[in-house]
C-alpha cells in the first residue's frame, strides 16, 4: 500500500494569548489563567498548572534490571515505585545534565551512556508539564563519601534494581501507577525488542521546544 505522505506527529501551534495572569502561586508550581484567541472559534479562558517540566531516568544494568526508587506522593496519599526523576528548576540546565544530577541525587548512580527514550505530556488538558525520559547505561555507583544528602520526602527514599520484565508484569497487574514508570517501561521494552535501533540521541529535539 502506497503512503499518502501522512506522518503521525504532534505540531507546535500556539494560539495568541490576549491576557495572562497567575491566579495561584504555589511552593513548587503556579496556576495561570490565559485568555486565548482561537480565531473563528472565538476567545476562551483556560486555567492550567504552569509547570517547569521534568526529567526521568531509566538506569539499566547489564542484567536487564532498572533502578527504581520508592517515594511518598502526598496528592495521591501513596508510596509509589518510580524511576529517579526531578523538576527542570535550575535555570539554563540542559536536559541531560538535569537527568544526570537527579540520578546522582536520588539513586547514588552515574551513567556513561545516555539516550532519549521517550517524551510525553502528563496531562495536557490541565498542565504544561512535559517529561523527557532518558535511558542511562554503563552504570557505576557513587562512592559513599560523595553521595548526596536527601531531604524532605526524599529523606527516607529507598531504591532497588528490578528486572524490566517484572516491572512490565506489575504494570499489567495494576500494581504500579506512576506515569513515568508506565510510559518509560513500555518504551524501554519496545526499544529492547527493536535491538535499541529506535533510541534517539540524548540531545534530541524536545516536544516543548
Query: How far apart (Å, rounded) are the C-alpha atoms in residues 105 and 97?
Result: 12
Q: What are 88-93's contacts with CB under 8 Å, separation 24+?
A: 88/52, 88/53, 88/54, 88/55, 89/52
From the candidates 2, 65, 129, 154, give the one annotated as an active-site residue.
Answer: 154
* Residue found under cell 488538558: 125
Query: How far apart (Å, rounded) are the C-alpha atoms in residues 187 and 192?
Result: 9
Query: How far apart (Å, rounded) are the C-alpha atoms in residues 163 and 60?
Result: 9
206 secondary structure, DSSP code = -
Check if 141 is active-site: no
28 secondary structure, DSSP code = S
Cα angle, residue 11 at apex, residues 5 and 15 outer, rounded to 5°: 135
Q: Distance of CA 122 to CAs 150, 164, 180, 181, 201, Å?
A: 25, 22, 9, 12, 22
State whether residue 209 is helix, strand or coil: coil
**Active-site amino acid positions:** 154
Amino acid at each position: 500500500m502506497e503512503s499518502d505522505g501522512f506522518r503521525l506527529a504532534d505540531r507546535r501551534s500556539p494560539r495568541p494569548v490576549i491576557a495572562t495572569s497567575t491566579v495561584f502561586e504555589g511552593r513548587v508550581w503556579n496556576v495561570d489563567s490565559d485568555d486565548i484567541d482561537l480565531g473563528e472559534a472565538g476567545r476562551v479562558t483556560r486555567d492550567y498548572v504552569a509547570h517547569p517540566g521534568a526529567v526521568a531516568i531509566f538506569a539499566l544494568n547489564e542484567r536487564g534490571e532498572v533502578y527504581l526508587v520508592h517515594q511518598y506522593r502526598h496528592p495521591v496519599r501513596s508510596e509509589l515505585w518510580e524511576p529517579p526523576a526531578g523538576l527542570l528548576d535550575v535555570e539554563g540546565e540542559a536536559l541531560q545534565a538535569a537527568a544526570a544530577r537527579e540520578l546522582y541525587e536520588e539513586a547514588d548512580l552515574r551513567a556513561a551512556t545516555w539516550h532519549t527514550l521517550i517524551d510525553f505530556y502528563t496531562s495536557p488538558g490541565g498542565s504544561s508539564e512535559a517529561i523527557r525520559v532518558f535511558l542511562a547505561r554503563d552504570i557505576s555507583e557513587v562512592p559513599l563519601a560523595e553521595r548526596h544528602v536527601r531531604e524532605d520526602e526524599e529523606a527516607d527514599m529507598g531504591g532497588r534494581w528490578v528486572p524490566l520484565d517484572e516491572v512490565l508484569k506489575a504494570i499489567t497487574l495494576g500494581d504500579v501507577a506512576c506515569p513515568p514508570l508506565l510510559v518509560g517501561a513500555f518504551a524501554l521494552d519496545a526499544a529492547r525488542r527493536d535491538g535499541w535501533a529506535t533510541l534517539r540521541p540524548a540531545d534530541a529535539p524536545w516536544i516543548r521546544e
